Amino acid sequence: MNSDLSPSFQFRNDILHVDDVAIPDIVATVGTPVYVYSRQKFERQYHLLETSIAVFGGQICYAVKANSNLAVLKIFNALGAGFDIVSGGELQRVMAAGADAGRVVFSGVGKSAADIDLALKLDIGCFNVESAAELARIAERARLLGKVAAVAIRVNPDVDPKTHPYISTGLKENKFGVPAAQALALYDFIQSNDHLRAAGLACHIGSQITTPQPMIEALENLLKLIDQLQDNGIELDHLDLGGGFSATYDTEPPFDFADYSERVVAALDNRKIQIVVEPGRFLVANGGILVTTVEYLKPQPSDEHHNFAVTDAAMNDLIRPALYQAWHGVDNVARRDPNAARRWDIVGPVCESADFLAKDRLLTIEPGDLLAVYSAGAYAMVQASNYNSRGRPPEVLVEGDSFSVIRRRETSTDMLRLELPER
């Protein structure tokens, strides 16, 4: 039932620990709600992926959007990752983390002129281009700045990734990328322009993809294009296969990297091209939890009603259940008698019926208890908002037997700062 009790999240003497730190010790210092991350778990995930894709010499560009805390970016930078960014803001973050701009790929359908200029001035590794109009804009900005932009066309391979519709990106009804049929003309444009260089070809078909099959289908479609480009005399340096490798929230089996890598090698069939992947969720989701305190219990008079445990964390802190019907494991931080368990909906204080973290969970809960919401290392804090004027929670990084606050709790002063008149 509990999702990611990896070695980094374990009970010792009935108290949940993150590596060698007891959660109540963190809460005593920083309060709740709080996101807690395990450096060891992030590093283990990275090594697992790195080792798995070593057979085809894959380069990892961490998808910053999954968790963009500077301390987290520094961990992946130290491990040798490049970065996949989608905004000037993310670019500023990776630069602040000490990244080499040459290992940055810039994805996204709506790159502004200002963001393109920043990326050009920093000489980023590659723009993953999503439309003819964007390509024209990049060419123009590069001309104005006297630069040559390295570009890859992001192709939409029209493959069903069999994931939630909101996180599918590679179907023809999705806004991302260009159809394969149009890509050749865009490469001709690149070849004819002095301020563009054809560096690669890219795709990303979706997120939380649990089997290699759709990714391999996409790869096969892309390789056909690579061959056609080669016939036209265009040699690319790299092929970017995007991210999407699943994390384990519930009972999903782990993504089968052995099978994936074997099939990538087979599909490549001795073609010499650098493969890039852009994982986000796989690296960080299972390395984080959201810890919250139960404020009130609302047990209901009959079975027709739901019992509610009202926590101090809400949909503004973790929107995934409300937005994608996502399932996150929930557990007591201090174990209680399982015989007293009943079914609870875990809900927050926000004035919305969609404000729930979990539904219908068999737990023994008392007011004041701490609960851990698992798999909150990806797309949790980064999607948090100030809705209901709630300050966003702090983030804590556990490193072995010590922990540090890597982002402090947001205060009312922080939230009012941009609205108060300048002094």
The answer to whether residue 377 forms part of the interface with ligand LLP (CB under 6 A) is: no
Residue type at 245 in one-letter notation: F
109 binds ligand LLP (CB under 6 A): no
**141 three-state secondary structure:** helix
Judged by CB, which is closer to ligand LLP: 81, or 294?
81
Which residue in the set 161, 170, 177, 242 belongs to the binding site for ligand LLP (CB under 6 A)?
242
Does 278 bind ligand LLP (CB under 6 A)? Our answer is yes
Binding mask 38-67 vs ligand LLP (x if CB under 6 A, - otherwise)? -------------------------x--x-
Closest CA to 226 of 287, 259, 271, 266: 271
Residue spans of alpha helices (H) in 62-179: 70-78, 88-96, 113-121, 132-145
Q: CB under 6 A: which stretch of 3-11, 27-35, 272-280, 298-306 binds ligand LLP?
A: 272-280
415: its two tokens: 């939230």
Number of H helices, E strands in the chain: 12, 21
Asked if 41 and 284 count as a contact pair (C-beta separation under 8 A), the reply is no
Q: How far is the CB of 341 from ligand LLP (least distance, A)?
A: 29
**Count of CB atoms situated within 10 Å of the CB of 358:** 22
* Segment (H or E) for 371: strand 370-373
Helix (H) or strand (E) holding 363: strand 356-363
User: Toward ligand LLP, which CB reaches closer, 92 or 383?
Assistant: 383
Q: Could you say which of 4, 43, 84, 115 contacts ligand LLP (CB under 6 A)?
A: 84
Minimal CA–CA distance to 63: which of 163, 175, 204, 169? 204
Window 324 to 363, contacts with ligand LLP (CB under 6 A): 324
Mapping DSSP to helix (H, G, I), strand (E, B) and coil, where does residue 289 land?
strand
Strands 330-332, 370-373: parallel, antiparallel or unpaired by DSSP? Answer: antiparallel
Stretch that binds ligand LLP, among 137-145, 211-219, 238-246, 294-302 (CB under 6 A): 238-246
Considering only residues 82, 200, 212, 280, which one is a binding residue for ligand LLP as defined by CB under 6 A?
280
Q: Is 351 marked active-site?
A: yes
**Does the protein bind ligand LLP through residue 32 (CB under 6 A)?**
no
Confirm or reject binding of residue 107 to ligand LLP (CB under 6 A).
yes
Sorted by sequence, the CB contacts under 8 Å of residue 184 that are 6+ apart come out as 225, 228, 229, 232
Closest CB 10 distance from ligand LLP, rounded Å: 25
Q: Which stretch binds ligand LLP (CB under 6 A): 38-46, 48-56, 279-287, 332-340?
A: 279-287
| Positions 167 through 206 that interact with ligand LLP (CB under 6 A) | 167, 169, 204
CB atoms near residue 34 (< 10 Å): 25
Contacts of 73 (CB under 8 A, 6+ apart): 62, 64, 83, 93, 94, 96, 97, 99
- Residue 255 vs 403, nearer CB to ligand LLP: 255
Name the residues that contact ligand LLP, by CB under 6 A: 63, 66, 84, 107, 167, 169, 204, 207-208, 242-245, 278-282, 320, 324, 379, 383
Which residues are marked as active site?
A: 351
